């Protein structure tokens, strides 16, 4: 929204969120919106907050409360160290508030600040001198104008603390929010060092801190989230995520902070080691969640003579979105509006997907989401829409970081009766070794009662560049995978990337319709993971499908499920016995 006239008054409203905003009255525009070459900058004067720095429509700091953020992001890691810091690297931070706080530590011999946007430094120094507060006159301070993601690769083992004081993961800060960058940060630290990064509002940006937690956890030896509140940052509790090089650093951090703060020789206005910065229990639970998402898979017997076309199935998808409280993205994807036997309809849902296909009188439904999935609501809604009484269901945890035995226990196979609004006692799939699943004599594709076969793959530790590229994932779905399995494609692969604003789900999604089925997959660039569903009415080389997919995306491991879909006439026990799970390690 930006600057808005309200009668004779000028107001500013923040643009960070599409469904909520906050604003304040502006008394004077100090620096009108200026294109710096990297972002759009404004400096505003207000009666309540003093001067305010705005980048790309988002408040970065106000003179009234900038000290809260700058003191916490600087002093929390510096006082937590076992040994006093000598060299501190700041990436971003062009307003110099972090540098000002770091330079208060007498032990610090060198502060290097890498800022990509020179105009931020110059305009803040000119118009917000209280924030800079003599930083440029301190001989220990050095400014490098450049890309922090590039500079940090030259600093292996040189830094005691690294502060990543960036904007949100858009514009010039995008290169600072990926796993390769975090590995470079780890490599630049000395043993016992700490890196800390702002990771957004815990309520209004719910995937920001968990996504960074997962990324930092892969490279660093321990991870902590620091929680505090800052009025200029909308949404209540705000987070910093820190990683250590070396174990035990955070275990002793509170004790070190109390001692170091007492000896520091200066006092802070907002930070204190006696103030708890531990996240609320609910936020900690979200941080430690061990799965990316969940999926409900349903086989529903359609009433006699029922053969829904694309228009009716599109209404089912819309109804399902309402039931699971998700928003549809774009229009449904299908090849034939008649939706004949084996044809698929897919509806993207906020980087997840709902899909349908029919085999005879059996409707095969999948509903996957990377957020909380109200399973019973999804089932009841689908049964009601298709006027069916029962559904055979598989409830599958997707992208779980638990062991395969735990994942198996959390995979539930059951029948749901709409008339009684109840599910039967759940069973588990059979756990087999991959060598058995890949054997030519493995019985999965030979079942005479199974109309279609589903391979579910969750592949971990994938190559960032490969899974972040829409052309690369489209090439896999449209050419590589059909080529190695012999499955026939219908149309071209659709590969939008519409999850960029959500840390957990950032990355492309792909739909490739197949003759008699579909290949649908989602890519989380922050969790280095892909989740794949292939449903088809014929057999294919299972080992090639799994291993070559892992090789293409450079995945380190995979958890796979095999589901017999459209399996008429079998009991729940028989279905469970013919649902398989196995694990594959990279070669």
Which residues does the annotation mark as catalytic? 165
Distance CA 176, CA 198 (A): 11
**Per-residue DSSP letter, 477:** I
Distance CA 506, CA 255 (A): 37
The answer to whether residues 549 and 473 touch, using CB atoms and an 8 Å cutoff, is: no
- Chain centre distance of CA 315: 29
Distance CA 399, CA 523 (A): 11
Q: Which of 225, 373, 368 is nearest to 286 (CA)?
A: 225
Q: Looking up tokens 């993971």, which residue turns up?
A: 529
The answer to whether residues 246 and 253 touch, using CB atoms and an 8 Å cutoff, is: no
Give the up-direction half-sphere exposure of residue 62: CA atoms within 13 A in the CB hemisphere.
Answer: 19
Distance CA 33, CA 41 (A): 5
Burial class (CB in 10 A: 0-12, 13-18, 19+), 574: middle
Q: Which helix (H) or strand (E) holds 5?
A: strand 2-6
**Per-residue DSSP letter, 488:** P
| Rg of the chain in Å (alpha carbons) | 27
Q: Which of 59, 374, 45 is nearest to 201 (CA)?
A: 59
Burial class (CB in 10 A: 0-12, 13-18, 19+), 443: exposed
């Amino acid at each position: 929204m930006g600057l808005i006239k309200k009668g004779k008054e000028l107001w500013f409203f923040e643009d960070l969120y599409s469904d909520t905003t906050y604003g304040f009255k502006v008394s004077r525009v100090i620096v009108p919106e200026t294109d710096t070459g990297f972002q759009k900058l404004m400096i505003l004067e207000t009666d309540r907050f003093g001067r305010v720095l705005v980048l790309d429509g988002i408040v970065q700091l106000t003179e009234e409360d900038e000290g809260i953020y700058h003191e916490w992001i600087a002093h929390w890691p510096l006082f937590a160290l076992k040994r006093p810091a000598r060299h501190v690297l700041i990436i971003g931070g062009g307003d110099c508030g972090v540098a000002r706080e770091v330079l208060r530590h007498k032990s610090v011999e060198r502060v290097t600040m890498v800022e990509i946007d020179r105009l931020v430094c110059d305009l803040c120094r000119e118009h917000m001198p209280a924030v800079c507060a003599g930083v440029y006159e301190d001989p220990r301070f050095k400014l490098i104008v450049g890309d922090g993601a590039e500079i940090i690769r030259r600093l292996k083992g040189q830094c005691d603390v690294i502060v990543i004081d960036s904007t949100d993961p858009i514009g010039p800060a995008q290169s600072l929010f990926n796993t390769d960058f975090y590995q470079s940060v780890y490599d630049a630290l000395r043993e016992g060092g700490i890196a800390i990064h702002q990771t957004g509002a815990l309520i209004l940006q719910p995937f920001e801190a968990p996504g960074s937690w997962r990324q930092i956890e892969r490279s660093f030896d321990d991870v902590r989230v620091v929680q505090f509140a800052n009025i200029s940052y909308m949404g209540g509790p705000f987070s910093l995520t820190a990683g250590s090089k070396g174990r035990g650093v955070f275990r002793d951090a509170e004790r070190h902070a109390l001692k170091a703060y007492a000896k520091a020789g200066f006092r802070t206005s907002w930070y204190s080691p006696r103030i708890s910065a531990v996240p609320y229990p609910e936020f900690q639970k979200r941080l430690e969640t061990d799965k990316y998402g969940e999926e409900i898979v349903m086989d529903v017997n359609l009433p006699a003579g029922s053969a829904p076309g694309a228009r009716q199935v599109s209404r089912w998808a819309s109804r399902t979105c309402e039931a699971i409280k998700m928003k549809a993205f774009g229009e449904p994807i299908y090849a034939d509006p008649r939706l004949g036997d084996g044809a698929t309809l897919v509806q993207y849902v906020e980087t997840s997907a709902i899909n349908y296909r029919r085999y005879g009188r059996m409707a095969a439904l999948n509903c996957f989401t990377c957020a909380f999935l109200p399973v019973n609501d999804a089932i009841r809604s689908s049964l009601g829409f298709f006027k069916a009484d029962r559904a055979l269901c598989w409830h599958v945890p997707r992208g779980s970081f638990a062991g395969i035995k735990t994942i198996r226990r959390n995979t539930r196979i059951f029948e749901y009766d709409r008339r009684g609004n109840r599910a039967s006692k759940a069973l588990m799939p059979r756990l087999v070794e991959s060598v058995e699943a890949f054997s030519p004599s493995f019985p999965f594709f030979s079942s005479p009662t199974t109309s279609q076969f589903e391979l579910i793959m969750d592949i971990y530790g994938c190559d960032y560049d490969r899974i972040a590229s829409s052309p690369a994932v489209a090439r896999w779905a449209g050419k590589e995978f059909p080529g190695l399995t012999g499955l026939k494609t219908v149309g071209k692969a659709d590969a939008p990337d519409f999850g960029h604003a959500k840390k957990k789900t950032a990355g492309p999604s792909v739909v490739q319709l197949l003759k008699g089925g579909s290949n649908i997959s989602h890519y989380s660039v922050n969790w280095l993971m892909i989740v794949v569903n292939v449903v088809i009415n014929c057999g294919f080389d299972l080992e090639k499908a799994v291993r070559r997919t892992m090789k293409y995306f450079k995945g380190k491991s995979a958890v796979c499920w095999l589901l017999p879909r459209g399996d008429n006439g079998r009991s729940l026990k028989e279905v469970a016995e013919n649902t398989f799970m196995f694990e594959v390690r990279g070669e």
